[in-house]
């Protein structure tokens, strides 16, 4: 027998599933509706804003479902070899138009010939959220970098927004430039940005090897002066 609480969470999860399906259909419809508008009329920012926002809703719903699954039975990360420069280029291409419409400049820097083992779908979800969060924080510059650091492959997202002002920088890891491990769950749940970060932590932590544990670090961007999130995966 399931407890009332279990019934409730199951109900919530099923509802989210339903919402996500319905939303997917809605998104497909708006997309084809927009595609049917002649290109010369289509060229307005709203189209991209609609896409950007609906993509974010979709991302959020996926996050909820993955989180639910992870809690219920331990979500299995599906690891694949990912050629990082092509991967980041795909992400860039997906966001570029929208971001330029929002007057946000996105830059990438990827260590060449890097192949990493990640659950691409989930990591993409995290990166999409971080980019969305940056735009919500009114950032005008975003930098997406991929590099190796110690034994980790790092995907780093920086912006020139206000940064994590509410973080207690006293917790900072002493040796790095003001990087800290993420605060605990209850602190994160308080803010919208926090939800995304919570998910980021969940996803990076699913990536582990015998000796290394994936993790997420937060900090202040030295270059852009805003927020910095480092997603670290065992290399």
Partner 1 sequence: MAAFAEGLGRPDNIGITAKKMARSYYEKKQVLIIEDLAEMRSQLKSMLERLGIRRIDTTLNGEEAIEALKSKNYDIVFSDYELGRGKDGQQVLEEARHAKLLKEVSCFILVTAAQTVEMVMGALEYNPDGYITKPVTYEDLSARVERILKTKLIFEPINQAIDDGDLTEALDQCDELIKERPKIALPVLRIKGRIYLHEHNLEKAEQTFKSALSIREVAWANLGIAKVRYEQENYEESIEILETLRNKKEKYVESQDWLAKIYEAQGDLEKAQKTLEKAIAESPKAILRQSELARVARLNNDWAVATQAARKTVSLSRNSCHKNPEQYINLVEALQTQIAPSGLRDRRYISTEIMKTLNAIRTEYPDDLSLMVHTYTLDSNTQQKLGKASDAKKLALEARRLIQSAPAEVAIASHVVKSAGECLAETCDKQTLMDFIESKAGQNYLSDEGRESLLQKARSAEENRIQEYIDSLNNQGVEFFEKGKLHNAIEMFDQAADQAAASFSVLLNAVQAHIALLQKEGPNEHNQKHCEAHLKRLSNMPKDDRRYARYAKLSEMFHACLSQKK
Helix (H) or strand (E) holding 105: strand 105-110
Binding test (CB under 8 A) with partner 1, winner from 86, 149, 166, 181: 86
> b/e per residue, 33-45, with b = 16+ CB within 10 A?
eeeeeeeeeeeee
| Residues 6 or more apart whose Cβ sits within 8 Å of residue 189 | 195, 198
CB 121 within 8 A of CB 69: no
If binding is defined by CB under 8 A, does position 90 make contact with partner 1?
A: yes
Binding test (CB under 8 A) with partner 1, winner from 7, 15, 28, 171: 28
If binding is defined by CB under 8 A, does position 24 make contact with partner 1?
A: yes
Give the nearest distance from C-beta 186 to partner 1 in angstroms. Answer: 28
Written as six digits, the tokens of 5 are 């609480």
- Measured between alpha carbons, how far is residue 30 from residues 38, 41, 88, 136 in Å? 14, 15, 26, 23
If binding is defined by CB under 8 A, does position 174 make contact with partner 1?
A: no
If binding is defined by CB under 8 A, does position 72 make contact with partner 1?
A: no
Beta-bridge partners for 155: 146, 231
Binding test (CB under 8 A) with partner 1, winner from 68, 87, 132, 164: 87
215-220/227-234 β-pairing: antiparallel
If binding is defined by CB under 8 A, does position 184 make contact with partner 1?
A: no
Binding test (CB under 8 A) with partner 1, winner from 9, 55, 70, 225: 55
If binding is defined by CB under 8 A, does position 100 make contact with partner 1?
A: yes
Interface size with partner 1, residues (CB under 8 A):
50
If binding is defined by CB under 8 A, does position 62 make contact with partner 1?
A: yes
CB 136 within 8 A of CB 168: no
Q: Which residues bind partner 1 (CB under 8 A)?
A: 17, 20-21, 23-25, 27-29, 31-32, 35, 51, 55, 58, 62, 65, 74, 76, 78, 81, 83, 86-87, 89-94, 96-101, 103-110, 113-115, 117, 121, 145
């Amino acid at each position: 027998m399931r407890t009332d609480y279990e019934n409730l969470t199951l109900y919530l999860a099923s509802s989210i599933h339903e919402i996500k399906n319905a939303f997917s259909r809605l998104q497909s419809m708006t997309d084809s509706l927009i595609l049917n508008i002649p290109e010369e009329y289509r060229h307005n920012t709203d189209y991209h804003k609609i896409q950007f926002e609906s993509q974010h809703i979709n991302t959020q719903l996926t996050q909820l479902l993955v989180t639910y699954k992870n809690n219920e039975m331990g979500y299995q990360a599906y690891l694949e070899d990912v050629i990082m420069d092509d991967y980041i280029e795909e992400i860039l291409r997906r966001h570029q138009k929208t971001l330029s419409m929002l007057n946000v400049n996105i830059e990438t820097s990827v260590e060449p010939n890097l192949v990493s083992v990640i659950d691409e779908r989930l990591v993409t979800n995290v990166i999409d959220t971080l980019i969305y969060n940056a735009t919500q924080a009114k950032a005008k510059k975003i930098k997406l970098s991929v590099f190796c650091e110690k034994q980790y492959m790092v995907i780093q997202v920086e912006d020139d927004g206000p940064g994590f002002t509410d973080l207690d920088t006293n917790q900072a890891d002493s040796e790095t430039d003001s990087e800290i491990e993420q605060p605990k769950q209850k602190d994160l749940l308080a803010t919208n940005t926090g939800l995304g970060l919570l998910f980021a932590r969940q996803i990076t932590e699913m990536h582990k090897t015998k000796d290394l544990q994936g993790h997420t670090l937060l900090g202040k961007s030295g270059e852009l002066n805003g927020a910095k999130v480092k997603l670290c995966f065992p290399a």
